Structure 1
Amino acid sequence: MKDQVLKIKVPGKLFIAGEYAILEQGHSAVVIAVDRYMIGEISSSDYNELHLPQIGLNNIKWQVKGKKILFNIEDSKLSFVKNALYTVIRFFKEKGIALRPFSLTVESELDDGEGKKYGLGSSAAIVVTVVTAMLHFFQDKKIQPTEELIYKLSAIAHYYTQGNGSCADIAASTFGGWLKYTMFDHSWLDHEINAGTNLIKLVDQKWPLLEIKRIHPPQDLYLVVGWTGKSVSTVPMVRSIQALRTNHFEVYQEFLSQSKYAVSRLIESFYENNSLRAVESLTDNRHALMHLGELATVDIETPELKKLISIANRYGSGKSSGAGGGDCGIAFVINKEHVAKLEKDWQQANIEPLKLNVSLTGASVKTITKNHH
């Protein structure tokens, strides 16, 4: 048994449409999983240990003390992992599952080896990796590690760390593929967690408003992704947008209705296999986001993103992805020959085309057997 190692692969994510609006009730987003992965390995050990080699954190020992998880080092980069461990251990205790020590290593392909950060959702992916690894490692009759269970426990862990966010990235990393995503009722989860509702009850019930639905793009639609060369911190941008929402709600409502129109048209275009309409809807969503950026006086579209988009518009349509302000932009192109031309034009403009495809599988696990050294 000692030799059994579970290998976990969890894809990163990109937003296609519906950014910012997704945080409001009744709004949906389109999000995808991409074929860059967080890779985890979990195996039995004599004590609990954690290895995150890429951020220089190896041989971290940890233990459960009452309601806390104590690491032998303090590092803010560990907060997502700590809350993921805490959430799953609490769930196991409620289920009456005995813990045994394990070693967990997590490495990321989401950013480039030279330290370029692309904004592919690494904090969500690491939470999903830890949750998936533990659920499968301790799997027995009492636990079936379904996608829904992984998503819900990851969303709760993410909530403990950040207290906000749509968790669309968690859905993409868990389920894979192209998703139509509608966020759960945030105030409901807030209330349940603060009331100390037990996790078994929380994960077993239907979460109000939550919808995660696989969708399929038109057959002749190509997604192309470019990186602007600048990574971005989402938090300050989200704050500026929230300030607009608080102080000028009627103006913000205008953005919401524009976004809703664009996203619902995009989803319809998928159902109708209508690539032309998909291209138009992406433009509509871009305009809604530009308008929002102007109103909130934030650079959702940096000069680099504007350049990326105007080049994309020669061949189809382009927009920022995620919070904007840097990171990646995306393009919808209908003609396969145009993909190569677009990528070439981007390169000439110092925009790096990323060889990203949609990962049709979400979090996955396989057993590998290692020999004793």
Structure 2
Amino acid sequence: MNPKHCLQSSQTQTIKIPGKLYIAGEYAVLAPKQAAILIAVDQYLELTIRQRTKKGWLIENHQGGYAPLCLETDDSHLRVAEDYSLEEDQLDQWRYVIEAAKVTHTFLQESNFNSRNFHLHIRSQLLSDSGKKYGLGSSGAVTVGTIQAILNFHKIKLSAERLYRLAVISQLRLGASGSFGDIAANAFGGWTYYMAPDRKLLKEMITNAPSITALLKQEWPDLTIENLAVSKDLQVLIGWTQHTASTDNLVKQLKDQISAQPQAFQAFIDQAPAVVRQLKDGLINNQADLIQQAISNYRNLLLVLGKAYDLSIETAALNQLIEIGNQHGYASKSSGAGGGDCGIALGYDINTKESILKQWKVQGIVPLNLQVAPQSSSERIE
């Protein structure tokens, strides 16, 4: 059974949305026509939805600090129910879920489906036992999960790409400026080769489109999402530094400096595409030397970028993680924005795997017992 699309009964339905990690392409993918490679991992956001007899869409997030959210229809729009009024900071916590629910509600109306009342529970495995983020993503997963859970409840099943598109529309309405690579990994599962749509044109399309349904059917310039067939012999080791990092802060810091000093970033994105293509070729052709070279080259590009803009991409803990992996012949680098969170090590020699994990532990790096999550089912009904 596909763990990402697990229906239990007509009354209660549960889905699991995988977390994500960048393998290569981070930072570059923020620029037009730049690609990245990501994996979905089998650490999940779990959403359970069931029929509700009372009016409204009641949503509970069982992560600490969330007050219950209830949305009701008001003149064809969703609003927070009066009995569940929330403070501004509480509404901000719920912003991804609220916007995802609004987009889904509009799509239901356009599809001539009558909205049904439900109770949605959200539970996350994307955090440590102490509540710290691993860096496996959360905003993308909760956006994708909210949309898919509500559509499943109304017996509408969409392809992974249309689910991705609805989630991107939702986040763009909130003013998000990322690449949405996390959303692609959340929706597609497995190994994903990704190039973001032209965000400037897409924003114009959203402004001018007569409906969400029309947006789903239009061509999105530059958008490329491919699932890669990667051998299961390739070991993907993931180490957590126990230090959380803010992707938004690092990306903002970079963007603020690029406007004044664009040369270093231009040099970075001039070189990044060839490295990502090299990694793609190595992965699909099972060529360890290409994978090793590409990962090493992309790590070096990130180091140069970090030095140019004074970004703490590769911290001391990540450096230790990488050096240990490299010493054992595993291609190693930071994952995502860096500054903490996770690093990765890729290799085929199963005999050295335990030695890497053991040495990571000695250095205070926590090995995460994660696997690449399965691809989304291709059997979903449009």
Equivalent in 241, 259, 267 of residue 280 of structure 2: 267
Equivalent in 21, 30, 38 of residue 23 of structure 1: 30
Query: Shift of residue 334 of structure 1?
Result: 2.5
Which ranges of structure 2 fall in alignment gaps of 5 or more residues? 1-8
TM-score by length of 2: 0.90
Partner residue of 1:371? none
Q: How has the CA–CA distance of structure 1 residues 237 and 89 changed in structure 2, closer, same or farther, with 3 Å as cutoff? A: same
Equivalent in 126, 129, 142 of residue 126 of structure 1: 142
Query: Shift of residue 249 of structure 1?
Result: 2.1
Query: Shift of residue 56 of structure 1?
Result: 3.9
Determine what percentage of the aligned residue pairs are the same residue: 33
Structure with bigger RCO (C-alpha 8 Å, 6+ apart): 1
Is 2:69–2:80's contact at 8 Å kept on the other side of the alignment?
no
Q: Distance in 2 between matches of 1:64 and 1:318?
A: 50
Is 1:218–1:275's contact at 8 Å kept on the other side of the alignment?
no
Aligned residues: 362
What SS does the corresponding residue of 1:54 show, helix, strand or coil?
A: coil
Q: How has the CA–CA distance of structure 1 residues 90 and 3 changed in structure 2, closer, same or farther, with 3 Å as cutoff? A: closer
What amino acid sits opposite 2:336 in the alignment? Answer: G
Query: Shift of residue 217 of structure 1?
Result: 2.7
Partner residue of 2:331? 317
Q: How does 1:47-86 map to 2 (within 5 A)?
A: 47=55, 48-57=57-66, 59-66=68-75, 67-71=77-81, 72=84, 73-74=86-87, 75=90, 76-86=92-102
Is 2:185–2:192's contact at 8 Å kept on the other side of the alignment?
yes
Query: Shift of residue 216 of structure 1?
Result: 2.5
Equivalent in 178, 181, 196 of residue 168 of structure 1: 181
Partner residue of 2:4? none
Q: Distance in 2 between matches of 1:332 and 1:59?
A: 41
Q: Distance in 1 between matches of 2:18 and 2:378?
A: 9
Partner residue of 2:235? 222
Which ranges of structure 1 fall in alignment gaps of 5 or more residues? 367-373
What SS does the corresponding residue of 2:133 show, helix, strand or coil?
A: coil
What SS does the corresponding residue of 1:247 show, helix, strand or coil?
A: coil
Q: Distance in 2 between matches of 1:43 and 1:197?
A: 32
What SS does the corresponding residue of 1:35 show, helix, strand or coil?
A: strand
Q: How does 1:309-348 map to 2 (within 5 A)?
A: 309-315=322-328, 316-348=330-362
Deviations 1:23-49 (A, max 9, x none): 112211000100000111111102221
Is 1:33–1:362's contact at 8 Å kept on the other side of the alignment?
no
Q: How does 1:270-281 map to 2 (within 5 A)?
A: 270-281=283-294
Equivalent in 90, 102, 108 of residue 92 of structure 1: 108
Partner residue of 1:370? none
Q: Distance in 1 between matches of 2:215 and 2:133?
A: 34
Is 1:176–1:363's contact at 8 Å kept on the other side of the alignment?
no
Q: Distance in 1 between matches of 2:352 and 2:79?
A: 52
Query: Shift of residue 144 of structure 1?
Result: 4.0
